[in-house]
A and B are shown apart, each in its own frame.
Chain A
Amino acid sequence: AQSVSQHNHHVILSEAASLELGCNYSYGGTVNLFWYVQYPGQHLQLLLKYFSGDPLVKGIKGFEAEFIKSKFSFNLRKPSVQWSDTAEYFCAVNSMNSGYSTLTFGKGTMLLVSP
């Protein structure tokens, strides 16, 4: 079965610091990759997605992620975080194994940005 691993459960940064959140998945076939964000008191929102093509994808609010197939990774980055980026971030994958239907999520990384 496919699985997703997020390396950090909690990250604390100061404003303007750079961010990189790690995500690795276990499935070896063709995958679709996602980062979702959940701001305090709000529902899950799609931050960015990778289906095919350019492995560097850009999402909303200055976030980007790079798909490295050889490393089974899809790390999320932002050059300079803001206080408003405080949220929980989830990496997710679906694949041919799941019929490209259900998403398998990582356990999430809680990001706290101090002003």
Chain B
Amino acid sequence: GAGVSQSPSNKVTEKGKDVELRCDPISGHTALYWYRQSLGQGLEFLIYFQGNSAPDKSGLPSDRFSAERTGGSVSTLTIQRTQQEDSAVYLCASSLVGPEQYFGPGTRLTVT
């Protein structure tokens, strides 16, 4: 079946602009996760959704970052007033039950 999909695959934006990143999880997966992958830093947890609620937002690096999930499916990660340090690959993952997560291809964000 279809895996996790993310769009866009690449995004170049100017410093100060807002960006929206989209994640379509595997159909039926109730849990959805956002991570950020920076060069040499591994993967950093951002936020976790169970259904439409986010019980764990502890990884969001600043109030410029927000995320929502609607209909228990698609999620959008929004970064306002982007900064150069926001440049990274943003990964989405989903899971059904249990801890095994399935990852999407990521969105490479470049802030110029």
Would you call the interface of chain B mostly helix, strand, loop, or mixed?
strand
Tell whether B43 is near chain A: CB-to-CB under 8 Å: yes
Closest residue of B by beta carbon distance from A100 = B99
Closest residue of B by beta carbon distance from A94 = B99
- The bracket for how many chain B residues form the interface is 20 to 34
Given contacts A102-B33, A104-B45, A107-B40, contact A43 B106 (CB under 8 A): yes
Interchain CB contact under 8 A, A44 and B91: yes
The smallest beta-carbon distance between A96 and chain B, in angstroms, is: 11
Interchain CB contact under 8 A, B100 and A49: yes
Tell whether A46 is near chain B: CB-to-CB under 8 Å: yes
Question: Could you tell me the distance between the alpha carbons of A101 and B103 in the complex, rounded to whole angstroms?
Answer: 14
Chain B residues, CB < 8 A from A32 = 99
Chain B residues, CB < 8 A from A43 = 91, 103-106
| Residues of A in contact with B (beta carbons under 8 Å apart) | 9, 32, 34, 36, 42-46, 49, 51, 90, 92, 94, 98-108
Q: List 11 A-B contacts (CB under 8 A).
A: A43-B104, A94-B99, A99-B56, A101-B31, A101-B55, A101-B99, A103-B35, A103-B45, A103-B101, A105-B35, A106-B42
